[in-house]
Amino acid sequence: MGSSFGASSVGAAQRILGKVVQTGGNKINRNTADALNKATGSTLAPREWGRGLEALKKDYGLPNNHHGKLTEYGFYLDEAGEAFGNLLDYL
């Protein structure tokens, strides 16, 4: 896994990883896709972001029903705030 941040560096982590735009769910919401597109300068549909998430989960051996958090910059985090990777690397 990638980076994790303690409580003392939560502000720094948010500046680097971005704010959480979706927690859990079975698909990428339209509002989440809009936030991802705005922050990354992309114009992708929710389904395209979802395919990237599916590829990231497969790469890390995560089950399809693993529900993490997505940040506005495309990072996928576990429940502890540790980053697995970035969806932009899987598009």
For 35-78, the pLDDT digits (tens) are: 999 999 999 999 999 999 999 999 999 999 999 999 999 999 99
Contact in structure between 57 and 63 (CB atoms under 8 Å): yes
Residues 9-45: tens digit of each pLDDT: 556 666 789 999 999 988 999 999 999 999 999 999 9
Instruction: Give the total residue count for the chain.
Output: 91
Exposed / middle / buried, residue 39 (Cβ in 10 Å: 0-12, 13-18, 19+): middle
Give the global pTM: 0.83
> Domain map of the chain by residue range?
18-90
Who contacts 67 (Cβ-Cβ below 8 Å, separation ≥6)? 23, 24, 25
Smallest Cα–Cα separation from 29: which of 57, 49, 14?
49
